[in-house]
Chain A
Amino acid sequence: MAWLPKTENLRLRRLNLADLGIMLFVISLIVALLLAGRVAPEDVLAQSGPFNLTGWSLPVDALRSLSRIFIAFLASLLFTIGYGYAAAYTRVGDRILVPLLDILQSVPVLGFLAASVGGFVLLFGPFWGFEAAAIFAIFTAQAWNMTFAFYHTLRTLPKDLQEVTSVMRLSRWQRLIHFELPAAIIPLVLNSMMSFGGSWFFLAASESFLYQHRTIHLPGIGSYIAVAQQRGNTAALLAAMAALLLMIVAVDQLFWRPLVAWSTKFKMGQVESQEEAPSSFILTTLRRSSLVQSLRERLLMPVVESLEVHMIRRATTRPPARREWRLVSTVLSFVLIGGTIVFAVLGAAHVVGSDLGLVPKAIVLGFYTLGRVLAAVGLGALWTVPVGVWVGMNARALKWAQPLAQMAASFPANVLFPLIVVLFIRVGLNLNWGAIPLMMLGTQWYILFNVMAGAMAIPADLKEAGKVFGLRGARVWRELILPAIFPSLITGGITAAGGAWNASIVAEVVVWHGKTLAASGLGALVTESTASGNTVALLVAIVVMSGFVVATNRLLWRPLYRLAETRFHVEE
Chain B
Amino acid sequence: MASAQTLLSVEAIVKDYSMPSGNPVRVLDEVSFGVQEGEFLTILGPSGSGKSTLLRIIAGLVEPSSGQVCYLDKPLTGVNPHVAMVFQSFALFPWLTVQENVELGLKSQGLGARERQERALKVIDMIGLDGFEGAYPKELSGGMRQRVGFARALVVEPDVLLMDEPFSALDVLTAENLRRDLLELWLEKRIPTKAILIVTHSIEEAVYMGDRAVILSREPARVIAQVPILLPHWREREDVRFVRLVDQIYQTLTARPAATDSVFTRRRPTPVPAVRAGSLTGMIELLDDLGGSTDLYRLGDELNMDLEDLLPIVEAVEMLGLGRVREGDVALTEPGRAFAQATVLARKELFRDTALANVPALAHIRHELERHPQQRVGAETFLGLFERYYSPEDSRRQMETLIDWGRYAELLAYDQETDQVYLEAENQELQSPLPPS
Q: Which A residues contact B (CB, under 8 angstroms)?
A: 1, 3-4, 158, 160-161, 163-164, 166-171, 174, 178-179, 182, 185, 265-272, 305, 308-309, 312-313, 567
Contacts and interface: CB of A to CB of B under 8 A. Distances in A.
Interface in B11-63: 56, 59, 61
A169 B108 contact: yes
B128 interface: no
A167 B104 CA distance: 11
B163 to A, nearest CB: 12
B316 interface: no
Interface stretch (B86-94, B277-285, B322-330, B397-405): B86-94
B91 A272 contact: no
Contacts of A309: 110
Given A163-B61, A270-B94, A168 B104 contact: yes
B166 to A, nearest CB: 12
A164 B94 contact: no
Given A3-B134, A266-B95, A305-B113, A166 B79 contact: yes
Contacts of A170: 104, 107-108
Contacts of B81: 169
Given A178-B104, A266-B94, A164 B417 contact: no
19 contacts: A1-B125, A3-B121, A160-B87, A161-B93, A163-B56, A163-B59, A166-B61, A167-B84, A168-B108, A170-B104, A178-B96, A179-B93, A266-B94, A266-B95, A267-B94, A270-B145, A271-B138, A313-B110, A567-B417
A174 B89 CA distance: 22
Question: Most chain-A CB neighbours within 10 Å: which of B93, B133, B136?
Answer: B93
B68 interface: no
Nearest to B132: A3
Contacts of B379: none
Interface residues of B, number: 37
Contacts of A168: 104-105, 107-108, 156
Interface of B: 56, 59, 61, 79, 81, 83-85, 87, 89-96, 99, 104-105, 107-108, 110, 113, 117, 121, 125, 130, 133-134, 136-139, 145, 156, 417
Contacts of B96: 178
Nearest to A175: B108
A185 B83 CA distance: 31
Given A167-B84, A169-B81, A305-B113, A3 B99 contact: yes
Contacts of A272: 138-139
A1 B91 CA distance: 26
Given A164-B87, A167-B61, A167-B83, 17 more contacts: A1-B121, A161-B91, A161-B93, A163-B59, A166-B61, A166-B79, A167-B59, A168-B107, A169-B81, A170-B104, A174-B108, A178-B96, A178-B104, A185-B95, A270-B137, A309-B110, A313-B110
A166 B104 CA distance: 12
Given A308-B107, A312-B110, A164 B85 contact: yes
B223 to A, nearest CB: 24
A164 B91 contact: yes
Contacts, number: 79
Nearest to B92: A270
A160 B138 contact: no
Contacts of A270: 90, 92, 94, 137-138, 145
A164 B96 CA distance: 14
B26 to A, nearest CB: 22
Question: Most chain-B CB neighbours within 10 Å: which of A163, A174, A269?
Answer: A163
A265 B97 CA distance: 11
Contacts of B85: 163-164, 167
A567 B108 CA distance: 48
Question: Most chain-A CB neighbours within 10 Å: which of B56, B91, B96?
Answer: B91
Contact of A4 (B84, B117, B130): B117
Contacts of B110: 309, 312-313
Question: Most chain-B CB neighbours within 10 Å: which of A158, A164, A567?
Answer: A164
B131 to A, nearest CB: 8
A266 B95 CA distance: 5
Contacts of B79: 166-167, 169
A313 B108 CA distance: 10
Contacts of A182: 93, 95
Nearest to A566: B417
Contacts of B83: 167
Contacts of B117: 4
Contacts of B99: 3
A19 B111 CA distance: 34
A158 to B, nearest CB: 8
Given A3-B134, A174-B107, A163 B93 contact: no
B416 to A, nearest CB: 10
Nearest to B142: A270
A163 B52 CA distance: 12
B87 A163 contact: yes
B83 to A, nearest CB: 7
Nearest to A164: B91
Contacts of B137: 270
B108 A265 contact: no
A545 B67 CA distance: 57
Contacts of A265: 94-95, 136
A407 B31 CA distance: 63
A70 B113 CA distance: 35
Contacts of B136: 265
Contacts of B90: 270
A305 B134 CA distance: 19
Contact of B108 (A4, A305, A312): A312
B249 to A, nearest CB: 28
A475 B121 CA distance: 63
Contacts of A164: 85, 87, 91
Contacts of B107: 168, 170, 174, 178, 308
Nearest to A265: B95
Contacts of B61: 163, 166-167
The 6 closest A-B pairs by CB, nearest first: A160-B91, A266-B95, A3-B133, A182-B95, A168-B105, A167-B85
A182 B117 CA distance: 22
Contacts of B125: 1
B95 to A, nearest CB: 5
Contacts of B59: 163, 167
Contacts of A171: 108
A166 B417 CA distance: 42
Contacts of B113: 305
Nearest to B169: A270
A312 B121 CA distance: 24
A270 B105 CA distance: 20
Nearest to A161: B91
B280 to A, nearest CB: 25
